[in-house]
Structure 1
């Protein structure tokens, strides 16, 4: 007992995923899958603590 509410919610979520219309950006998906970097996500990362790192050669 007690599984009715959980099963009903799973069914609701499954139906929502099945029948909802999606606005998919297939170009962005292809770039992500092929490993091409997205230009909007690139940020010059500067490690502000690199000057304090131990330099052992």
Structure 2
């Protein structure tokens, strides 16, 4: 027995978590995350990645040629 009461409590907790939205201090959260609002958002974070296109051209081999039956 008792399953109905436990299930009702789980549903109550789930609804509370789903619909409850606490007052969040977004400025404080931004400070904690170390985000700098003065940075420009237009910069691409991947601009500093090295260019591997030369390796792609060098090592891009069509694997289908290896398995052709003569």
> Normalised by the size of structure 1, how large is the TM-score?
0.42
